[in-house]
Chains A and B, each alone.
Chain A
Amino acid sequence: MKSIVLKAVFLAIAHVVVFHALSFSQNLKPATELQKSEIIKKMQSAALSTNSMECKFVQSKTLSVLAETVTSEGKMYFKKENKLRWQYEKPYSYIYILSEGKVYIKSEGNTSTFDTNSNKMFKEISEIMIGGVRGNLLLNNKKFSAQYFMGADKAVIKLTPTGAELKNMISSINLTVSTSDWLVKSIEMVEKGGDITLITFTEKNVNKSIADTLFRLN
């Protein structure tokens, strides 16, 4: 009786594993070496030719402990080489600016400034955000190992942290890149505990003139 039950459990688990493997393979397949080189080359080329970018984003965070998803929206501005303005507008107002080695934060009327060189956490966050927006920076980053997947109209790069500090925060970061412009379409951060943050970019405007004043707090 026990062996029958065990067999049934094993078959159920095997079914689930195979089913998921098949589902994944229907949409995405591991990239061949040739495809991998193509992805890296095209993303680097797109990053090189992107001097600025302005877009909207929607961020949704799934909290497994509460069975809730929290959604926020805002705008992102990027200017070469490393100027970034990440502005939440709904449902709360929060501005994060990265410019010339400093982080400026404005939240509920209070402003704070940090030096990325002296604040490790902000340095890591800044690198991830800029790298996520530019796409190619994370590919060349020794802090992550990368796996590449190809779909019909997209490529997905799964980045796994190699260092202990980042590993304690994040299990993996999945960048989805559209093959139409080779720019990052979405960033999915999977936390150690299983919670997921998904940031999707829309209404991208590339190489539009962006004032430097946007990268300062007034």
Chain B
Amino acid sequence: MLTRALLILCFASTSLLGFTQISGSENDANTAMRRFVSIFPFEDGKSLNFQASVEHINFYITGVVVAKMMGDTVKGVFMNEFGIKVFEFEVLRGRCRLMQVLDIFDKWYFRKTIRNDFAFIFTVLEKPSEAVGVYEFPFRGEKNVYRYRFEHEKIATLLRIEKGKTTAVLECGSDSVFTFRNTDRNISYKFNIVPK
């Protein structure tokens, strides 16, 4: 009974960590988790403000995103520059929920694409003890992964791989400008951190 409980606890612990080291440091990536890490320079409990745009061949939307990382969850709001909220979102472990979506955008194809892409953009990881090399974070089953490459303890590259095919990529990032591309649907997301 005790052995079974311990086995369950070990499995649960591994699942909570959620990622697999592919290459890099020889140290066990499952030890000494220190804090959560995102592609964005979040400080836990503090929000970041972004000037954001979503571009597709058929539309171009701009607005402001305010997002806050709280542990392993990122909550945020996408609103237009006049402050009219387009939607609220919450991202946890590769899944995104959308709430209070503005009527004109409340279509199933818009929700599905934004949910998938925001989950990719805003998912946070528990930072490995030695953040060097490539890590994969499975989502929605085992055939799909987010692949992160760490350099100098920061996420340098980010891919979304679904059933062996790359469907989204961090195209370029600087300290304050991040561009993501959904290569499957040809949509670009740009996030430019603005001071408060």
Measured CB to CB, the nearest residue on chain A to B88 is A65
Q: Smallest distance from the beta carbon of A158 to chain B beta carbons, Å?
A: 19
Docked complex Cα distance between A197 and B83 (Å): 6
Interface residues of A (CB under 8 A from B): 59, 61, 63, 65-66, 68, 70-72, 88, 91-92, 94, 96, 105, 107-108, 110, 112, 121, 125, 129, 165, 168-169, 189, 191-193, 195, 197
Q: Smallest distance from the beta carbon of B98 to chain A beta carbons, Å?
A: 12
A110–B60 CB distance below 8 A: yes
Interface residues of B (CB under 8 A from A): 47, 49, 51, 53, 60, 62, 64, 66, 68, 75-77, 79, 81-85, 88, 99-100, 102-104, 190, 192, 194-196
Q: Smallest distance from the beta carbon of B42 to chain A beta carbons, Å?
A: 13
B-side contacts of A63, CB under 8 Å: 66, 77
Number of A-B contacts (CB under 8 A): 77
Q: Smallest distance from the beta carbon of B161 to chain A beta carbons, Å?
A: 30
Docked complex Cα distance between A112 and B53 (Å): 13
B60–A70 CB distance below 8 A: no
Q: A70-B49, A108-B51, A112-B60 are in contact. Are A91 and B195 (CB under 8 A)?
A: yes
Docked complex Cα distance between A165 and B102 (Å): 10
Measured CB to CB, the nearest residue on chain B to A196 is B83
A94–B62 CB distance below 8 A: yes
Q: A107-B62, A108-B192, A165-B103 are in contact. Are A92 and B68 (CB under 8 A)?
A: no
Add 9 more A-B contacts to A70-B49, A107-B81, A197-B82 (CB < 8 A): A61-B83, A65-B77, A70-B66, A91-B196, A107-B53, A125-B82, A168-B102, A195-B85, A197-B84
B76–A193 CB distance below 8 A: no
Q: Smallest distance from the beta carbon of B4 to chain A beta carbons, Å?
A: 41
A169–B100 CB distance below 8 A: no
Q: Smallest distance from the beta carbon of B69 to chain A beta carbons, Å?
A: 11
B102–A169 CB distance below 8 A: yes
B85–A94 CB distance below 8 A: no
Docked complex Cα distance between A63 and B104 (Å): 21
Among A59, A65, A72, A125, residue most surrounded by chain B Cβ atoms (within 10 Å): A65
Docked complex Cα distance between A192 and B60 (Å): 25
Measured CB to CB, the nearest residue on chain B to A94 is B81
A-B contact pairs, 7 of them (CB 8 A): A61-B83, A71-B196, A91-B49, A92-B194, A107-B51, A108-B53, A195-B85
